Amino acid sequence: MKKHIIISMVTLLVLGGITSAQSPEVKGKEIMEKYLKEDEGFGSSEVNLKMILRNKQGQQSERLMRNKTYELTSDGDKSMIVFNSPKDVKGTATLTFTHKEGSDDQWLYLPAIKRVKRISSSNKSGPFMGSEFAYEDLSSDEVEKYTYKFLEEATFNGEKVLAVEQYPVDVKSGYKMRIAYYNPSKNYRLEKIEFFDRKGSPLKTLTYLDYKKYLDKHWRADKFLMVNHQTGKETELFFENYAFKTGLEENDFNQNALIRAGR
């Protein structure tokens, strides 16, 4: 009898551990960790972008950009975006240092006044160059930036996805929450993110479209579609000519490099 009691106690402890490990909070965090782990190792990347801004009436304007990214594992990634056209924004450039903990560092180079302006943490929720993307959307995803709660399995374009609520740790974030949808059959790539404003109301939806796989591992979408449900505006981003392991170094991402890129 004692043997059966001991076995039953061990079983309960094991089951209790499994249950704890599979709590919505832990499972949500594990999904994010898998997503980031699957994409490790690209080193650096460069890509051309076309941005289309569209207002509620359907009128649109177009901008061309160049983006480069430097991967870091000790901290968040570093990235730079430089506008090539139209003439009124040509040379404008942004530099982002994502941090796993604390506020990110971001700078904006304005060629008209030939000065670098630091973007304060309180302004990170503002629109990036008039688009439906906020400055904080330019940062790389890091586990430490959110707390998590797994919601459910859902279906997106006929495939199973895992929905995870993510609550920003940074109190200055423009979002109360976002719901991210990960595809476990495709290296946990992101399929869609729903953003909620500080009041908890639906704000925007970002959909990733036309994925391609690079280096047999890294999934990249050829198109981002960000729709603002409160204003009726939307922004499309088209990505062309991806290149990886391009030889970029960390010192290619500083304020002096930002100024040179904008000239």
Q: Is 257 helix (H, G, I), strand (E, B) or coil?
A: helix
CB 165 within 8 A of CB 152: no
Q: Are 67 and 253 in contact (CB under 8 A)?
A: no
Task: Place 191 in a pLDDT band, splitting at 50, 70 and 90.
Answer: very high
Other CB atoms within 10 A of residue 170 CB: 18
| Confidence label for 22 from pLDDT (cuts 50, 70 and 90) | confident
pLDDT bin (cut points 50, 70, 90) of residue 263 is confident
What would the mean pLDDT of 143-171 be, rounded to a whole number? 97
Q: What whole-number distance in Å separates Cα of residue 239 and Cα of residue 74?
A: 27
Tally the residues of the chain.
263
Residue 13 has pLDDT above 90, yes or no: no
Which residue intervals of the chain are DSSP H helices?
2-21, 24-38, 255-262
Quick one: how many helices (H) and strands (E) in the chain? 3, 13
Give yes or no for residue 7 having a pLDDT over 90: no
pLDDT, tens digit, 9 for 90 and up, residues 224-254 = 999 999 999 999 999 999 999 999 999 999 9
pLDDT at position 60 over 70: yes
DSSP 95-106: EEE--SSSPPEE
Residue linked to tokens 């060629």:
111
- Tell me the CB-side half-sphere exposure of residue 81, using CA atoms within 13 A: 23
Count how many Cα atoms sit within 13 Å of the Cα of residue 235 in the half-sphere of its side chain. Answer: 18
CA–CA dist 243, 40 (Å, integer):
15
Q: Which domains does the chain have, with CATH numbers?
A: 24-65+121-248 (2.50.20.10)
Residue with tokens 């740790």: 169
pLDDT score at 52 = 98
Whether residue 112 has pLDDT greater than 60: yes
Residue 12 has pLDDT above 50, yes or no: no
Q: What is the pLDDT of residue 17?
A: 46
Mean pLDDT, the chain, integer = 92
Q: Is 7 exposed, middle or buried (0-12, 13-18, 19+ CB in 10 A)?
A: exposed
Contact status, residue 92 vs residue 81, Cβ threshold 8 Å: no
Collapse the DSSP code of 250 into the 3-class scheme (helix H, G, I; strand E, B; otherwise coil) and give the result.
helix
Position 19 pLDDT exceeds 60:
no
